[in-house]
Amino acid sequence: MRLILIRHGRQSSPLCNVDVDLSEVGRRQAELLAKRFNGFAPDRIYTSALVRAKQTAEILFGTEAGFHEREALNEISFGDMTGEADSRNAVLFPEYFAAKKKKEENLRLPGGECPTEVFDRALPVVREAIASGAETVVIVTHGGVIRALVAGLLGLGAGQMLRIADSLEHTSVTELWYSEAAGCFSLERLNDASHLEGKPELSRSAWAKG
């Protein structure tokens, strides 16, 4: 099975993990990826239950594609940081950000989830996809979920999530292959955002400056 993990386009609010629409930039990012896909039709498409992921999937594959929505694919819970600006969170939770810089294993967000909890809730969706018999499966989800899944599915342990892609671009493509004979996944590509090349205003670095 070919498993393609796609991060949603940029959201319309800079506040931490709020459930809002895509921004205009996020729509442009998704439209560029849709153009790159050029009619690509996976056998099965999953999305998180959050608006930005569902809107991204609709732009990529059309509103009639038949999505399997799963709350288990929602972004990692940011707990006490949810709805706050990054600058305020940095002041309120300096110990968390210091540990994050050190890539502390299985780091729990203040009042929120840790990577292994995210992996444990998302893994049944991956197992469902394998059991479906689909050859190509797409999951449109969030950065924390993608990083936890990659670390966990490769056997590194989901707790090593912070070692996967320091800067995961919006609408980036990460691809794994599941071997039934081996009973495991292999990584084919990570954080592929070639559809955004030549458009620096659509990159995460531009978002950080904004």
CB 196 within 8 A of CB 202: yes
Catalytic position from the list 69, 71, 75, 180: 75
Q: How far is CA 123 from the centre of its chain?
A: 14
Instruction: Check if 75 is active-site.
Output: yes
Residues 153-186 as b or e (16 or more Cβ within 10 Å = b): bbeebbbbbbebbeebbbbbbbbbebeeeeeebe
Where does residue 12 rank: exposed (0-12), middle (13-18), buried (19+ CB within 10 A)?
A: middle
* Rounded CA separation 4/136 (Å): 8
What is the number of other CB atoms lying within 10 angstroms of the CB of residue 147? 28
Q: Could you tell me which residues are beta bridge partners of residue 140?
A: 6, 47
Instruction: Check if 8 is active-site.
Output: yes
Active site positions, annotated: 8, 75
